[in-house]
Structure 1
Amino acid sequence: MQLDADRLSALGEYFDRQVDDGKMPGWSCLVSQHGEVRYAAAGGMANIADSSPMKTDSVFRAWSLSKAMTSVAFMTLVEKGLVGLNDPVSDYLPSYADLRVYRSGMAEAPITEGLLEPMRIWHLLTHTSGLGYGSHQSHAVDTMYSGAGYALGVPAGVDLAGATEAWGSFPLRFQPGSAWNYGVSTDVLGRIIEVISGKRLDAYMRESLFEPLDLKDTAFHVDPNQAHRYAEIYTPAGESGGLNPLGLPVDTEVPVFLSGGGGIYTSAEDYITFLGMLVNGGRIGSTSEFVISPMTVESMRSNHLPGNVTLGSGYGHWPVPAINEVMKSVGFGLGFMTMLSPGESHILTRAGEYAWLSASSTNFFVDPLSGVAALIVPQLFPSRTLPIMNRLRQFVYQSYR
């Protein structure tokens, strides 16, 4: 089964229309098969104010696409036998042995209970740990996070070790393994990488992933000499129409807080290289070297939710209604959403596809059966503004021949 690159031109035409209609600032897209780029295109602006065009090598804030990279880096430690998926998190973070779990009450005076079983490493990889996200504000625990300064980030001057300890001081939303909730689990994984490796997260990820794959534009900050390549994130202006810049400052120095869950900067060209490695079973390009083994990739893209349930079965919670429509058809592996029931999704997809998305509408999917990986970078916040995830699949899958 091969991609028909000519038919992929419809993808560019669609996203160019979104730019022309003022719904999107710009976009870049790459589609590869077996690690070889078959389609590369971009349109619109990376920065409207200075008329900088969007390019496939524009540098963007990966946000939650960082999670896939951090999860892969973590699995290199698993392959070395330095950590096991069933290990209690408290083996590496002793303060996590005495976690409390929310039962009821207001954020100011919650009623809690003790753990029924330890939080384990696989709970972090699958987002079944019970940890929250202050930005979601869908639960009393989220209110506790944001009230302590852990809403869209961390308090000034707090590093990854300090943030991890703070998160462990809040109650969990539920008993580990009993439900799914998107939260800071991958950031905690990043801290465990530091504890096990004895290195800062940025150093370990550079040595284990970024350098082996020759990802020249991927790091926890943007080289000041390359800051002009940064693609601004935009948000709809409201009833008046148009787009406004989100206005987030760009990290041109290594930040104090290294977020494995959302702190990586990259380019579409770098990220499709990362996805090509996954497609090829962990192999680095055409070499005989591997980042992780084919069996590890297979396990990561398999559903690890208890009883093989889907996220939409009542097991999972996602605070975006449009995404919840897709969640009823997917499970979750070790860092990826994985498609279980294509007919339940009502989108063009198939079983075995694995994927993830970010708050700025950037998302990817990998179809292991055909060896296809696809990435779209719109830089549009919030991610529910357009059905970008679905459209990417429609255009890529219709090009199969």
Structure 2
Amino acid sequence: MIEASLPALNRRRFLWGAGAGAVTAAALLPGAARADGHAETVGAVMDGMVRDHNFQGVVALGRGGRIRTARAVGMAQIAQGIPMRTDTPLGIASISKRLTAVAVMRLVEQGALSLDARITTWLPDYRADVGARLTLRRLLSNSSGAPNPFRAAVAAEPALLQPPWIDTGEAVRRFATGDLVFEPGARFDYVLSNWILVLAIIETVTGQPYREAMRALVLDPLRMRHTTPVAPSEAMSYRTVSPPVEWINPRPPFLAAAGGYYSTAADLLRFAHGVYDTDFLSPTSRTALTTVEVASDSYALGGRMRTVAIGGAEVRAAWETGNTNGYRSVLGHRLDGRGAVVILNNNAISQRTMDAFAEALLRADAGVA
């Protein structure tokens, strides 16, 4: 039994598809030829991550937008004694950027936006000289050269991360207006100002708050019912779990496009399948989302691309990651449609470790050690 191989977990609960919305062992492994070997290979990778890195969170492997294997380990909320479940919503941080990029592509398809028009087309009150040189393509690929005064502003005024929140227009004025740091397209710069501007543009062209526009453009059509910018009461992020030290994760609405969402493994698998494997988006839009714009960081629009070595082949994958306070996340989707992995964590494991874990799971899922 798996539980017997994990004595170091002590009081931590290790769950194989436990809880509401869980997947039973029988449902995970369709077909007798697949069952034993696949379960053991995938299980060994998962066990190693728990043993070697004190992993706490949710892991899911899927295909066609459906979970085939899911596990939850540890606690979602230690103080309240709430165990992690396979359907626990956790912070996905910068995976929110890819959700936002998909919303933009839907608006491009509707003729409301263009990737390469100047942003003053939709934000006429924005600084004209800078706005004439900025495009959505550069904002979505973090290569705009937009100024980044946010961290310094918060250091000087911590109340900016507490309600009552400033509105989108004030956020643009304070955090996304100023001289360019470099020529647009010259290099990669992972700054929040890019996404404050994208959020403002979405709100302007839809006439809706960003949250409502995202629900209409992306979340409802893809049946992402448990994906929201509202922090769940049943989960918390942690600096450490022994002893438990909570890591509060304030997310002002004007940062939602950059990293404000919480989601479940099932919702993220549906998202990836819908975006990359179906006609939810046009072929042109799918190509735009998976074309690297900044080679130094393998960054496309709203997320990275990655090549994973699987069984002697180089498999191209859309690779979104998230990192905010104690939350860490990975969504890796094979562009050949033969598998996807979601990892959600709430106890601050390094992103490099999370990426390596995700790659190992994709190889195990393909039957490759």
TM-score normalised to structure 1 length: 0.72
Of 87, 90, 107, the match for 1:57: 87
Counterpart check, 1:220 vs 2:186: no
In structure 1, the partner of 2:235 is 231
CA contact 2:90–2:345 (8 Å) conserved in 1: no
* Superposed displacement of residue 352, structure 1: 2.4
Deviations 1:85-125 (A, max 9, x none): 110112222314233xxxxxxxxxxxxxxx9x701110011
Aligned to 1:105: none
Other-structure match for 1:138: none
Q: Does 1:167 align with 2:175?
A: yes
CA RMSD across the alignment = 3.0
Paired residue for 1:126? 141
Deviation at 1:236, TM superposition (A): 3.5
For residues 180 and 152 of structure 1, do their structure 2 counterparts lie closer, same or farther at Cα, with a shift above 3 Å needed? farther
Compared CA separation, residues 78 and 151, structure 1 to 2 (3 A):
farther
- Kept in 1, the 8 Å contact 2:118–2:135? The answer is yes
Partner-residue secondary structure (3-state), 2:213: helix
Alignment of 1:98 onto 2:129 = yes
Tell me, what secondary structure is at the counterpart of 2:176?
Answer: helix
Q: Which structure 2 residues correspond to residues 29-178 of structure 1 after superposition, within 5 A?
A: 29-94=59-124, 95-99=126-130, 118-131=133-146, 144-146=152-154, 149=157, 153=161, 156-178=164-186
* 1:398 pairs with 2:364: yes
| Structure showing the higher helix proportion among its residues | 2
2: distance between equivalents of 1:171 and 1:381? Answer: 35
**Residues 1:8 and 2:8 aligned together:** no
1:356 aligns with 2:320: yes
Shift of 1:161: 2.4
Structure 1 residues not aligned, in runs of 5+: 100-114, 134-140, 284-289, 312-326
| CA distance in structure 1 between the aligned counterparts of 2:158 and 2:120, rounded to whole angstroms | 22
Q: Which residue is equivalent to 1:316?
A: none
Structure 1 residue aligned with 2:195: 186
User: Aligned to 1:127, what secondary structure does the other structure show?
Assistant: coil
1:370: how far off? 4.1
Conserved in 2, the CA contact under 8 Å of 1:358 and 1:383?
no
Q: Which residue of 1 aligns with 2:248?
A: 247
CA contact (8 A) 2:253 2:260 kept: no
| Inter-partner Cα distance in structure 2 for 1:74 and 1:28 | 29
The alpha carbon displacement at 1:142 in A equals 6.1
Q: Is the 8 A contact 1:28 1:41 kept in 2?
A: yes
Paired with 2:176 and 2:223, the residues of 1 have a C-alpha distance of: 35
CA distance in 2, matches of 1:266, 1:206: 13
Deviation at 1:399, TM superposition (A): 2.9
2:334 pairs, out of 364, 367, 377, with 367
Confirm or deny that 1:203 pairs with 2:212: yes
The separation in 2 between residues aligned to 1:273 and 1:266, in whole angstroms, is: 11
Offset of 1:299 from its aligned partner? 2.1
Work out whether residues 160 and 258 of structure 1, in 8 Å CA contact, stay in contact via their aligned partners in 2: no
Verify: 1:278 aligned to 2:275, yes or no.
yes
Q: Which residue of 2 aligns with 1:296?
A: 285
**Closer, same or farther in 2 for the Cα pair 1:150/1:118, shift >3 Å?**
farther
Shift of 1:55: 0.9
> Which whole-Å deviations, capped at 9, do the CAs of 1:237-286 have from their partners, x for residues lacking one?
8xxx654211336x8xxx654621111222222122111212313x4xxx
| Alpha-carbon distance between aligned partners in 2 of 1:150 and 1:68, rounded to the nearest angstrom | 28
In the alignment, is the contact (CA less than 8 A) between 1:157 and 1:256 conserved in 2? Answer: yes
Once the two structures are superposed, residues 145-165 of structure 1 have per-residue CA deviations (whole angstroms, 9 ceiling, x without a partner) of 445648985884302222122
In the alignment of these two chains, the number of paired residues is: 325
User: Quick one: which amino acid aligns to residue 9 of structure 1?
Assistant: G
Mapped contact 1:279–1:373 kept (Cα < 8 A):
no
Q: Distance in 2 between matches of 1:120 and 1:391?
A: 35
Of all paired residues, the percent bearing the same amino acid is 23
Of 152-161 and 173-182, more deviation after overlay is shown by 152-161
* Structure 1 residue 51, shift from structure 2 partner: 2.1
Following the alignment from structure 1 to structure 2, what is the Cα–Cα distance between the partners of residues 31 and 127? Answer: 29
